[in-house]
Amino acid sequence: MDPTSTIFSFLSLLLFGSATNFNRDLPSESCRFPAIFNFGASNSDTGGYAAAFIQLKSPNGDTFFGMPAGRFCDGRLIVDFTGGIYASLMPREETFSKALYTFDIGQNDLTQSLFLNMTIVQVIAAIPDIVNHFSDIIKNLYNLGARSFWVYNTRPLGCFPKILTSFPLAEKDSVGCAKPYNLLAQRFNVELKNALARLRIEFPLATIVYVDLYAALYSLYTHPTKNGFEHPLVACCGYGGKYNYSEEAICGGKISVNGKNITVGSCKDPSVRVSWDGVHFTEAANKFAFDLVSSGDFSDPPIPLKLACHPR
């Protein structure tokens, strides 16, 4: 995981109400984490990158916040749904061992390598080092007192409008995604899952959950209409080409069209779209994915998010 792309997000958290009967072997008491520490790139960044480097413009944030709120999205991210929308805070020292540590990793490590002209074979060869570095981060956090880890795998990269536009000759799968890049993501996810399994053996007092975000999101491409979505491979906020994406037409930016400067704006209804700007997801897609993965149905071990403080 590239440390330069890691964002520290602090959210207060009041998790859920009554316990679920998901698994009789699980404890009945719901966790009440005093804080979330989120490590991830821009799909889970609640404002660190924007605060440090760029000022996002409308229509980012318009769906929920009514204005740009530091998120590359029309509204909320998965981490927002995880913690609820509360005032951000800097947790007290005593909350660190009781906090939930969430990770949303892999996307930048893989895509940045591809856009540095590395071949897929070269990127695959680098995956063990990436995963080993991530494992070291988990170990370091454990040694500092962290005990509850909720780790998302990487998304279906081959379905991103940016990837489809940048690599137009790539073989497509049955839903139109770029097959080699999804296979790359799957390869990373297998390595990540195996690494987390090893960490669970090494740290039996911790809860280390692998969350298959890839599978949850891919269902939006295989059955978009069934799930209330449309045009899943087309960016909502963008301009140009088959996938409504261009490097020269950044969401909220200005471009020249037929001699006139226009603002790159949102599609009519982001709530039925999957991709926000070709790289990031809409609030609707984030909410859909969160609802699926928080149940534990996409997790290994199959622990619901509200019970992620209990070792297993």
Q: Evaluate whether residue 84 is within a structural domain.
A: no
- For 206-237, the pLDDT digits (tens) are 999 999 999 999 999 999 999 999 999 999 99
50 found inside a domain: yes
Which residues are annotated as catalytic? 42, 277, 280
Asked if residue 186 is part of any domain, the answer here is yes
What pLDDT sits at residue 82? Answer: 86
Which residues are within 8 A (CB) of 24 and not within 5 positions of it... i.e. 6 or more apart?
Answer: none
What domain range includes position 177?
Answer: 36-58+91-229+281-306
Contacts of 139 (CB under 8 A, 6+ apart): 199, 202, 203
DSSP alpha helices (H): ranges in the chain? 48-52, 78-83, 107-114, 120-143, 161-166, 179-202, 213-222, 283-293
For residue 76, is it within any domain? Answer: no
The sign of the dihedral angle between the CA atoms of 103, 107, 112, 114 is positive
pLDDT in tens, 124-139: 999 999 999 999 999 9
Kindly state whether residue 131 falls inside one of the protein's structural domains.
yes
The answer to whether the pTM exceeds 0.85 is yes
Instruction: Categorize the per-residue pLDDT at 40 as very low, low, confident or very high, splitting at 50, 70 and 90.
Output: confident
**Residues 198-207: what's their mean pLDDT?**
97
- What pLDDT score does 18 carry? 28
How many structural domains is the chain composed of? 1
